[in-house]
Amino acid sequence: MRNQTMSIMRVFYFLFLLVFIFACKPQAEQPAVNYDTAISNARAIVDTLMTENQTPGMAVAVSVGGKLVWSEGFGYSDVENQVKVNPKTTMFRIGSVSKTLTASAIGLLMEQGKLDVSQPVQTYVPDFPEKRYPITVKQVAGHIAGIRHYRGREMMSDVYYPTVDEGLIIFRDDSLLFEPGTDYSYSSYGWNLISAVIEGASGEEFLSYMQKNVFDPIGMENTTADIAINEIANRTNFYVRGDTGVVDAPYVDNSYKWAGGGFVGSAEDLILFGHAHMKPGFLKIETLEALQTTQILANGDSTNYGMGWRSGVDNEGNFLVGHSGGSVGGITQFVTFPEKRVIVAMVSNCSPLRYNGAQIRIAQQFMD
């Protein structure tokens, strides 16, 4: 009986030892997701897009689950000298995606208690003329304040404006288009005013504030103001497509609209920005919601625009937030799918360019 008991104990000990060894043995890592097919399909979308639009250069970057899974440059940043596009360092005009970057400054100042977006803009910009109706910071940031957009060839301005306040001269004395809150009318000039609000609330010059509080903390080393008179390393050449083909873009100076459309940046920098705003961290969850949640008009209609962030759904019902950007010599698409944790950044160095939903189709390649 004693020998039988010992035998049973030895069996149990042996089994325990096997379990212990197995538990302590390093487990094999889960195989990485293979994105080869998604990348191949996305590359084909880009190739077709560039051919149809005669685009000299483009960069595309995609992130899934907080990880950069594809980043590639196509064509040339300088056609004459055959300089290839680098998706990490080549800087393109990102146009109105600048509004989305600037929105982060609004969020930071809100969290610091320095900015109340429900207040009239004159709270922070006392010299801005009062209109027939009061206009709040939130209304201006959501394009429902009635401030006008470009007229004529204003987008082709070649005038250098050394300060934010001087850029307000273009539209500051114009009447509102409608009673604030009753309609939606897209206005880059409204974001000129937002940059003045940021200066008033922070006590700092706008571009310095953006560099120190947004770009540097996020690690956006290849994003800066598109100062036309300065030599900027890795800034692409700019092109336009006309009746005779693709030629150099005319000279423009975007100093009148830093906040609304005056930054240059790389595709990978936009991915970094997306990572910082995909979940709480850089900003609090309630701040992200305040910036990204659509504003509602007086009649109950949704604008699908928060403060610097446009929202919607794709054809499969996936919620998305982001922005597009149109510039002289550059068209950009930046879209994030928070629930799918997918980010797509597409930047180009030629205008016009019709993406026709390419950014959505590329994102969908990586969702499965």
DSSP secondary structure string, 202-244?
HSS-HHHHHIIIIIHHHT-TTEEE--TTS--TTBPP-EEEETT
**How does pLDDT run across 232-268, given as a tens digit for each residue?**
999 999 999 988 899 999 999 999 999 999 999 999 9
pLDDT-based confidence at 158, cuts 50/70/90? very high
- For residue 183, is pLDDT > 70? yes
Among candidate residues 226, 292, 298, the one with its CA nearest the CA of residue 263: 226
The mean per-residue pLDDT over the stretch 190-205 comes to: 98
- For residue 14, is pLDDT > 90? no
pLDDT score at 33? 84
Share the mean pLDDT of the chain.
92
pLDDT score at 31? 54
Determine what percent of the chain is predicted with pLDDT higher than 70.
Answer: 91
pLDDT score at 18? 39
**How does pLDDT run across 307-353, given as a tens digit for each residue?**
999 999 999 999 999 999 999 999 999 999 999 999 999 999 999 99
Is the dihedral angle over the CA atoms 151, 154, 155, 160 positive or is it negative? negative
Q: Which helix (H) or strand (E) holds 268?
A: helix 267-278
> Which residues touch 51 (CB under 8 Å, ≥6 apart)?
none
- Rounded CA-CA distance 194/102 in Å is 9
Q: Which fold has domain 36-365?
A: Beta-lactamase (3.40.710)
Across 219-238, b (16+ Cβ under 10 Å) vs e yields ebebbbbbbeeeeeeebbbb
Both tokens assigned to 204: 């700092």
CA dist list (Å): 368 to 36, 352, 362: 13, 32, 12
**How does pLDDT run across 29-71, given as a tens digit for each residue?**
445 689 999 999 999 999 999 999 999 999 999 999 999 999 9
pLDDT-based confidence at 3, cuts 50/70/90? very low
The mean per-residue pLDDT over the stretch 363-367 comes to: 97
The mean per-residue pLDDT over the stretch 120-136 comes to: 98
Which pTM was predicted? 0.90
Q: What is the DSSP letter of 70?
A: E
pLDDT score at 243? 87
More confident position, 324 or 2 = 324
The mean per-residue pLDDT over the stretch 88-114 comes to: 98
**How does pLDDT run across 64-98, given as a tens digit for each residue?**
999 999 999 999 999 999 999 999 999 999 999 99
Q: Phi and psi dihedrals of 151, rounded to 5? A: -125, 145
- Rounded CA-CA distance 188/199 in Å is 17
